[in-house]
């Protein structure tokens, strides 16, 4: 089985994702997907419209497919734990050219020019 390297991921400060009427924290994002923390889980394989707020870029509208959802405890000050949260990994489904350009910019992807014959 060939090994495919994971795309570069970044954790933008203040990044959020809006999914339906829920706002969640973005843990990290790449040009191909996003990891978010929410207070409820969603079934793997389901697709959802997302608005990603990735400062300083403009909001990005994409569709995400849930590829993984697992429970996680959130650490609070003084060692307290907040349970009942989930980490959800979503892959982007056919992002627009404009959305992909913003994601690539936020993630620092470099696009190399094609080689010229010579």
- Cβ atoms within 10 Å of 102's Cβ, excluding its own: 19
Residue ranges per structural domain of the chain: 16-107
Look at phi and psi of residue 20 and say left if phi exceeds 0, alpha if psi is from -120 to 50, else beta.
left
- Cβ atoms within 10 Å of 47's Cβ, excluding its own: 13
Mean pLDDT of 7-34: 84
Residue 97 has pLDDT above 50, yes or no: yes
Residue 65 has pLDDT above 70, yes or no: yes
| CATH fold of the domain at 16-107 | Thrombin, subunit H (2.40.10)
Contacts of 26 (CB under 8 A, 6+ apart): 11, 12, 15, 16, 17, 34, 35, 36, 52, 54
Nearest to 36 by CA among 73, 85, 84: 85
- Region of poorest pLDDT, from 17-21, 70-74, 88-92: 70-74
Residue 36 has pLDDT above 70, yes or no: yes
Residue 7 has pLDDT above 60, yes or no: no
């Amino acid at each position: 089985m060939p090994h495919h390297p994971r795309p570069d991921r970044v954790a933008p400060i203040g990044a959020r994702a809006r999914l339906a009427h829920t706002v969640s924290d973005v843990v990290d994002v790449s040009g191909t997907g996003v990891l978010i923390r929410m207070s409820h889980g969603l079934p793997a394989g389901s697709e959802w419209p997302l608005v990603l707020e990735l400062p300083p870029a403009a909001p990005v509208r994409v569709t995400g497919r849930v590829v993984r959802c697992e429970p996680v405890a959130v650490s609070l000050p003084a060692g307290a734990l907040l349970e009942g949260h989930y980490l959800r990994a979503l892959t982007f489904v056919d992002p627009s050219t404009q959305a992909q350009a913003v994601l690539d910019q936020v993630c620092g992807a470099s696009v190399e020019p094609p080689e010229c014959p010579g």
